Amino acid sequence: MKRVLGTVTIGQSPRVDLIPEMKQLLDEDVVIIEAGALDGLTLAEVKKLYPEPGDYVLITRMADGTPVKIAEKHILPRMQQQITNLVEKGAEVIALVCTGEFPDFDCPRLVVKPQKVLFNAAASVAAGLKLGVLIPDADQIPQFSERWAGVGADLQVEPVTPYGPVEAIHEAAKSLRDWGAQVVVMDCIGYTLAMKQSVKEITGVPVILARSVVARMLAELL
C-alpha cells in the first residue's frame, strides 16, 4: 500500500540535494510530493524577502542551487498554502524540511517539524557534554545560541553554509574539535550524509545530522 508524504521546503522544489537522501531511509512504498515556499518566484523577487534587523533568519536555496537568505515572516503564508495544496493532493503526513522554528499551521494531517525532532534527540544525549553545533549562517548565531543554550555543559556554535565548498565544513569541524566538543549537531536540513561523515572523522565524536534524524522519524510514521 502506497503512503504519501508531502514535503515543504522553505526554498524551491524539487530539492534534488535532499529528498533522494531522505528517501533512502524510508520504506520503498512511500511516495513523496514536494512543494516549496519560494516556488514560482524569481531570484530578484526572493531578494525582496531578505531579513531586516531583528527578523528570524532562514537560509535555503533556489531550484538551481543558488543559496538565499530570507526572513521567516515573509514565507509563512506561502508555507501554509503549500501545506494545504499537499493535503489536497493526498499527503498523509506533512514534513517541513527546515530546522527553523515555525508556528503551528492549519492542517488536518500530522505536521513534522524537524527542529523539534532534532532538538529533542540531541538534548536526550548531550546533557553534561560539551555541545558543538554547526549552523548555516553567522547572522543566525543569536537565535541558534538561544535554542541550544543549557542543553549541554557548554556550547560552541560554528556557522558554515551547506551550500558552499566542503572545505569550509572541514574547517568548522576542526574548530569544534579543537574546542573540545564531545557531541556535534548539524542543525540544518541542507547538511548531507557525506558532510556528516567528514565531520565525524575530523572531530572523532558522535555527530547528529538533521536530515537523517528526521527521515527516521518519518519512517516511523509512514
Three cell numbers, residue 210: 538533521
Domains recognised in the chain with CATH numbers? 3-114+213-221 (3.40.50), 116-210 (3.40.50.1860)
Report the pLDDT value the prediction gives residue 1, as an integer from 0 to 100.
76
Report the pLDDT value the prediction gives residue 114, as an integer from 0 to 100.
96
Q: Locate all alpha helices (DSSP H) within 127-192, ordered by sequence.
A: 141-148, 166-179
Q: What b/e sequence results for 12-38 when a residue is b if at least 16 CB atoms lie within 10 Å of its CB, and e otherwise?
A: bbbbeebbebbbebbeeebebbbbbbb
Alpha-carbon gap, residue 29 to 27, rounded angstroms:
5
**CA dihedral in degrees (142, 145, 146, 149; nearest 10)?**
-160
Report the pLDDT value the prediction gives residue 51, as an integer from 0 to 100.
94
Report the pLDDT value the prediction gives residue 127, as an integer from 0 to 100.
87
Report the pLDDT value the prediction gives residue 82, as an integer from 0 to 100.
98
Alpha-carbon gap, residue 25 to 31, rounded angstroms:
13
pLDDT tens, the chain, 222 aa long: 789 999 999 999 999 999 999 999 999 999 999 999 999 999 999 999 999 999 999 999 999 999 999 999 999 999 999 999 999 999 999 999 999 999 999 999 999 999 999 999 999 999 889 999 999 999 999 999 999 998 887 999 999 999 999 999 999 999 999 999 999 999 999 999 999 999 999 999 999 999 999 999 999 999
Alpha-carbon gap, residue 207 to 199, rounded angstroms:
7
Three cell numbers, residue 10: 522553505
**CA dihedral in degrees (22, 24, 28, 33; nearest 10)?**
30
In the sheet that holds 93-96, the strands lie side by side as: 30-36, 3-9, 93-96, 110-112
Specify the pTM. 0.92
Report the pLDDT value the prediction gives residue 99, as an integer from 0 to 100.
94
Report the pLDDT value the prediction gives residue 93, as an integer from 0 to 100.
97
Report the pLDDT value the prediction gives residue 89, as an integer from 0 to 100.
97
